[in-house]
Structure 1
Amino acid sequence: MCLMTSRIEYHCTTVEKLVEEQKSFDAVLAVEVIQHVANPSEFCKSLSSLTVPDGAIMISSTEEYPIPIIIEKYLLNRLPNGTPQRLSALEPDNLVQFMKSASISFQGMAAFILHYWRANFVAFGTKPPCKD
């Protein structure tokens, strides 16, 4: 096994549990999660607290309209029962504000248009270095 892959850790848990355990990581990736949490601002603060100084934080989400979700889930049966409900429609500008309020230095964002009704976006930021 190469040195790089031997250091990668995958955790199937909650962000709050990792914060409680005082874990820290060089990079924290939250892929397609933030739109399902009740409080995105607090979620970003938790991601920031899990990241070491100068560490990287990447958050991805989708921007969708409700009609295609209903069609895919109930008419086309493409989404299995038990698929998490979407709690909030997150706008990219709101995500940037959540990151900044969590002391994450926003570095940039990219969007991927998948269909005329759906786009994925990825935001990248870093945690500022410790002040000496």
Structure 2
Amino acid sequence: MDKTTKTIDPAEVAKFEAMAAEWWDPNGKFKPLHMLNPCRLDYVTGQIAQQFGRDLKAPAPFAGLKVLDIGCGGGLLSEPVARLGADVVGADAAERNIPVARLHAEAQGLAIDYRHCAAEDIVATDERFDVVMALEIIEHVADPQGFAQTCADLLKPGGLMLCSTLNRNPKSYMMAIVGAERIMRWLPVGTHDWAKFVTPDELETMIRRTGLDFVDRKGMVFNPITWRWKLSDRDLSVNYITASVKR
């Protein structure tokens, strides 16, 4: 991997390197992502099906689609998308994540192309994708606008970019920093930097600057009574997810 890649933040990579072995432990350091995953997967699969006219009830509905999962970690999203028939490439700047992801995919009988590289490394090739997923990563990069442009450059015409992150406001600080890290201990203290959170309007502006059409955004809201996440049209106050299309 090119160590001079501009959007990579070495300190952020080091955080996730240290936690790599716990990716598939639903009660480990990635418990919040395991809890969130069904909600964001609902959004991801729904948007892909809508953009490419696929029936999610059909066998292998995403067959023929090439999907890039940037910041794939241990493969929590790569695997279910591959099960739906997509040709998935998972890329991560944290080297230790890749063998964990590969071993788990092999055990599940899934052929996923996992790579230790940055998104910019792929841009330098001629490889382009129908879908680029950048979930829970833009708040960890050194140059969010540059990262958004890289995602856009990796799309084929008519391609779909899916991006999720954390809003920046007092509520997100209390929920993601104080609640998740310091009270619930779901994540190690310091996993997130609240100053690097991105508001929905800021993210939309970044994406539009890349030339993509910003087509949708939804909140992902945690219910402490049911202990589940759900999509919301109105509440984007903490976690949210977006869809954009390349003309």
Query: Same fold by TM-score, threshold 0.5 exceeded?
Result: yes
| TM interval, short-chain normalised | 0.7 to 0.9
Check conservation: 1:38, 1:87, Cα contact below 8 A.
no
Highest relative contact order (Cα 8 Å, sep 6+), 1 or 2?
A: 1
CA distance in 2, matches of 1:19, 1:28: 12
Which AA in structure 2 matches 1:9? V
**Structure richer in helix, relative to its length:** 2
Note if contact 1:57-1:125 (Cα within 8 Å) is conserved in structure 2: yes
Kept after mapping to 1: 8 A contact 2:173/2:194: no
How big is the shift at 1:93? 0.5
2:130 aligned partner: 26
Amino acid at match of 2:173: P
- Indicate how the Cα distance of structure 1 residues 17 and 81 shifts in structure 2: closer, same or farther if over 3 A, else same: farther
Aligned partner (choices 163, 166, 173) of residue 66 of structure 1: 173
Measure, in 2, the Cα distance between the counterparts of 1:84 and 1:124. 23
Counterparts of 1:1-132 in structure 2, within 5 Å, are: 4=63, 5=85, 7-12=87-92, 13-63=117-167, 65-68=172-175, 69-80=177-188, 83=191, 85=193, 88-114=196-222, 119-128=238-247
Contact 1:36 1:86 in 2 (8 A): no
Cα shift at 1:67: 3.8
TM-score, scaled relative to structure 2? 0.45
Deviations 1:44-78 (A, max 9, x none): 11001000011111111122533441453244432
Structure-1 separation of matches of 2:178 and 2:150: 31
Query: C-alpha distance in 2, partners of 1:119/1:83?
Result: 16
Structure with the largest fraction of strand? 1
Aligned residues: 127
Asked if 2 retains the 8 angstrom alpha-carbon contact of 1:29 and 1:58, the reply is yes
Identify if the C-alpha distance between structure 1 residues 20 and 62 changes in structure 2 by more than 3 Å, giving closer, same or farther: same
AA aligned to 2:205 is: Q
Q: What amino acid maps onto 1:99 in structure 2?
A: I
Return the offset for 1:109. Answer: 0.9
Classify the secondary structure of the residue corresponding to 1:73: helix
Moved over 6 A (4+): none
Give CA deviations for 1:84-125 in whole Å, capped at 9, x if unaligned.
655612000011100110011111111122269x62211111
Matched to 2:88, the amino acid is: I
Q: Distance in 2 between matches of 1:57 and 1:46?
A: 11
Q: Is the Cα contact below 8 Å between 1:56 and 1:127 reproduced in 2?
A: yes
**Quick one: which amino acid aligns to residue 125 of structure 1?**
S
- Could you say which residue in structure 1 is the equivalent of 2:99? none
